[in-house]
Structure 1
Amino acid sequence: MWELLRTNARFRRIFLGETVSGFGDSAMFLSLAIWAKDLTGSNAQAGLVFLIITAPGLAAPLLGDLVDRVRRKPLLLWIYGFMAVLLLSLLAVRSADQIWIIYAVTFAYGLMFAVPARSALLKDLIPSSDAVHARSLLITVGEGVRIVSPMVGAGVYAAFGGAALTFIGSGTFVVAALVLASIKVVESEPERGGEPFRTSVLAGFRFVRRVPLLYRLILALVSFMAVIGLIETAAFAAIEEGLGQEPAFMGIVASVQGGGSVAGGVLAGLLAKRAKETRVSSVGYALVAVGLLLCVTSQVPLFLAGAVFIGMGLPFLMLALQTACHLYAPSRLQGRVGAAASTVSDVAQTASIAAGTALIGVLDYRIMYLLMAVAALASAAMVFAPRLPTPEIAASVADEPDSSGTAVAVPPEGEAT
């Protein structure tokens, strides 16, 4: 895995750019909510930051279609440049009257994350033989920066104010843009088909349905997400009622879980090189199930161990799905296939978060954890049990000329799988 960083100069730059931009992104999220709270004194106004940042995800299928029809590197450079300039508008925030500027910046962040250009561009940058290790390293560093960057962002805001935070956030986009601009990319040709708009936008969903392995991975993920959202409310009840801790203890739990995710990213990469994506995914669900069961206890050490297992299992799920999308979807379907996966899983998770909010008053938090553990085990069985054919690898322009990768063979539309 680390050999890829040592020998592939292009990937080293990708890794650097993703590390810097990921640090800046996650440092800003919490700080924007804190800033909104300071300006208005309202928890609702602060919480609105988290709602606004998720809203653009509803447009993911449209944005995925855009990503497949344009050059992705220029698109990303425009996005980074726009965000670097837009963040400077936060310098004008002085009172609650300017809260709308914070919300506008937050929405722009959400829109940027909903555009699957970064993930899609990797198909043209990373040879298929390196896809597992590249994705694993990027997941690992992404989880790693999330452990420290929110604390750094909040610390900078508390010590120096919003202006310092603004310059840091803007600077990370400038660095990410410079790093990306320095990478030579031979992109696949954008799709120029004349199919109807609705047909084009939904192409990612149709492709997933016609590839059994992808369909099963996403179906299992959606089933899991439809329940795991309960943890957003159950965790606070567990900390207060079960462990007898203050809500601030959640910060310790999040840090411990983040450490587990870093370890999980490395371990998932090692396993994924030797096993099918379905096996990697099933191991991840099993680890999460173990973690959820440990969280039923009222013992702090066991609860924290459960958080480690949950954090460790999640990268297995992410890596299995990301690798499958990278390898088996053609380059100019990467945006729409990724958007299809994120759309259905996000909708399911949002519904389960809402359900958790409604059920916490009538269900014991331990029952909610048990329900989530059962859902994780069911998803593990869903992807482990069936013997699914491995699709052929969709050739990438990043592959060597003698690459054995060929176009993915999928049944014609309307044919049974």
Structure 2
Amino acid sequence: MWELLRRNPRFRRIFLADTVSGFGNSAMFLSLAIWAKDLTGSNAQAGLVFLIITAPGLTAPLLGDLVDRVRRKPLLLWMYGCMAVLVLSLLAVRSPDQIWIIYAVTFAYGLMFAVPARSALLKDLIPSSDAVHARSLLITFGEGVRIVSPMAGAGVYATFGGHALAFIGSGTFIVAALLLASIKVVESKPELGEEPFRKSVTAGFRYVHQVPLLFRLILVMVGFMAVIGLLETAVFAAIDEGLRQEPAFLGVVASVQGGGSVVGGVLGGLLAKRARETRVSSVGYALAALGLLLCVTRQVPLFLVGAVFIGAGLPFLMLSLQTACHLYTPSRLQGRVNAAASTVSDIAQTASIAAGTVLIGVLDYRIMYLVMAGAALVSAAMVFSPRLPAPEVVPSVADEQSDSSGTVVAAPLEGEPK
């Protein structure tokens, strides 16, 4: 993985751009909710920040269609530039009457995350032989950033106020845009849009159904997400009723789980270079199942070890699915296929979170953890067996030999003749 950063300057720059913007984004989320709470004194209005940021995800199929119809690099540059300006509008927030500005910025953040432009651009930027390591690095550092950035953002807000956050958020987008602008990339030709609109928007779903490996990975992921959302509510009951800790202990659990995700990102990358996506995904579900079972205990050390295993398992799932989408999907379907996967999994997770808020009043939290562990074990078995034939890798412009511009030439895939 580290060799990829050294020898591929284009990936190194997009990696730095993603890390910088990811830090700024994660630092803003929690702080915007805290700011809304301070302005209004309302928990509901603070919680509305988290609802607003997820709402644009419902438009993912439309946004995926857009990504496949335009050049991805200019689209990302426009997004970064607009966000850099929009975030500065937070400087105008001084009273509860202006909380709508916070909500507008939050919605823009959610919209930006729902656009699968970066993931689609990677198909044209990264040779297929480097897809595993590239995705693993992005996931590993993304998880690492999420450990420290929310605390950093909250610290900046508490010390210097919300206006300082506006400058930081805008600055991260400017840095990301400059790094992205410095990358020379030959993009695949945008789709001309000859299909009817409805058929074009749903093309990602149809393609997934035609590739058995993609269909299985996504179907099992949806089933798992339809249950794992219970964790969002169950963890509060576990901390209170089981561990006898204050609610603030959730911060410790989140940090420990985040640390596990960093380790999982590295280990997942090592395994994915040697094993198929189904095996990587199966290991991830098994790790999550073990962690969930350990969380049934009332012992703090075992509970924290369980959180580590849960955190370690999730990057395996993300890596296997992202790598499969990268390798087995044409460049000009990347936006719609990624959008299809995120849409169905997000809907399933949202439904299970809502179910958790109801079930926690009638079920012991330990039963909820056992149900989630059982779902993870079933998912591990379903994704791994029966064995599927390996799909053909769909080549991209990054796999072709470059000219003298310095573009890295793709190495042969494992199993291919040198």
Alignment TM-score > 0.5, same fold:
yes
* 2:69/2:193 contact within 8 Å kept: no
Any idea what the Cα deviations from partners look like across 1:369-406, whole Å, max 9, x if unmatched?
Answer: 00000000111111111110111111110113497999
CA distance in 1, matches of 2:151, 2:274: 36
Q: Which amino acid aligns with 1:346?
A: D
Q: Residue 410 of structure 1 aligns with which residue?
A: none
Q: Which amino acid aligns with 2:58?
A: L
Q: Which amino acid aligns with 1:4?
A: L
Q: Residue 149 of structure 1 aligns with which residue?
A: 149
Pairing 1:14-413 to 2, within 5 Å after superposition: 14-401=14-401
CA distance in 2, matches of 1:21, 1:404: 30
CA distance in 2, matches of 1:23, 1:404: 32
Q: Which amino acid aligns with 1:57?
A: G
* 2:129/2:412 contact within 8 Å kept: no
Percent identity over the alignment?
A: 85
Q: Residue 416 of structure 2 aligns with which residue?
A: none
Where in structure 2 are there 5+ consecutive unaligned residues? 402-408, 414-418
* 1:394/1:405 contact within 8 Å kept: no
Q: Which amino acid aligns with 2:132?
A: V
Q: Which amino acid aligns with 1:193?
A: G
Any idea what the Cα deviations from partners look like across 1:278-301, whole Å, max 9, x if unmatched?
Answer: 000000000000000000000000
* 2:233/2:356 contact within 8 Å kept: yes
CA distance in 1, matches of 2:253, 2:173: 30
Residue 16 of structure 1 aligns to a residue whose secondary structure is helix
Deviation at 1:7, TM superposition (A): 1.1
* 2:32/2:102 contact within 8 Å kept: yes
Change in CA separation of 1:81 and 1:124 when aligned onto 2, cut-off 3 Å: same
Q: Say which is worse superposed, 185-194 or 29-38, in terms of deviation.
A: 185-194
Any idea what the Cα deviations from partners look like across 1:124-175, whole Å, max 9, x if unmatched?
Answer: 1000000000000000000000000000000000000011111000000000
Q: Residue 404 of structure 2 aligns with which residue?
A: none
Residue 289 of structure 1 aligns to a residue whose secondary structure is helix
Scaled by the length of structure 2, the TM-score of the pair is 0.96
Residue 123 of structure 2 aligns to a residue whose secondary structure is helix
Deviation at 1:87, TM superposition (A): 0.4
Q: Which amino acid aligns with 1:213?
A: L
Residue 188 of structure 1 aligns to a residue whose secondary structure is coil
Residue 47 of structure 1 aligns to a residue whose secondary structure is helix
Q: Which amino acid aligns with 1:61?
A: P
Deviation at 1:193, TM superposition (A): 3.5
Deviation at 1:308, TM superposition (A): 0.1
* 1:395/1:405 contact within 8 Å kept: no
Any idea what the Cα deviations from partners look like across 1:326-368, whole Å, max 9, x if unmatched?
Answer: 0000000000000000000000000000000010000000000
CA distance in 1, matches of 2:271, 2:148: 27
Residue 194 of structure 1 aligns to a residue whose secondary structure is coil
* 1:68/1:334 contact within 8 Å kept: yes
Deviation at 1:123, TM superposition (A): 0.3
Residue 292 of structure 2 aligns to a residue whose secondary structure is helix
* 1:204/1:333 contact within 8 Å kept: yes
CA distance in 1, matches of 2:256, 2:57: 28
Q: Which amino acid aligns with 1:186?
A: V
CA distance in 2, matches of 1:396, 1:349: 32
Any idea what the Cα deviations from partners look like across 1:39-58, whole Å, max 9, x if unmatched?
Answer: 00000000000000000000
* 1:393/1:405 contact within 8 Å kept: no
Q: Which amino acid aligns with 1:205?
A: F
* 1:287/1:310 contact within 8 Å kept: yes
Where in structure 1 are there 5+ consecutive unaligned residues? 407-417
CA distance in 2, matches of 1:340, 1:389: 22
Residue 398 of structure 1 aligns to a residue whose secondary structure is helix
* 1:392/1:405 contact within 8 Å kept: no
CA distance in 1, matches of 2:412, 2:324: 14
CA distance in 1, matches of 2:60, 2:78: 18
Residue 246 of structure 2 aligns to a residue whose secondary structure is coil
CA distance in 2, matches of 1:192, 1:394: 20
CA distance in 1, matches of 2:386, 2:9: 40
Scaled by the length of structure 1, the TM-score of the pair is 0.96
CA distance in 2, matches of 1:399, 1:17: 23
**Runs of 4+ in structure 1 over 4 Å off:** 402-406
Q: Which amino acid aligns with 1:355?
A: A
Any idea what the Cα deviations from partners look like across 1:164-204, whole Å, max 9, x if unmatched?
Answer: 11100000000000000000010000001311000000000
Q: Which amino acid aligns with 2:394?
A: A
Deviation at 1:90, TM superposition (A): 0.2
CA distance in 1, matches of 2:249, 2:62: 40
CA distance in 1, matches of 2:79, 2:7: 29
* 1:328/1:391 contact within 8 Å kept: yes
CA distance in 1, matches of 2:193, 2:120: 18
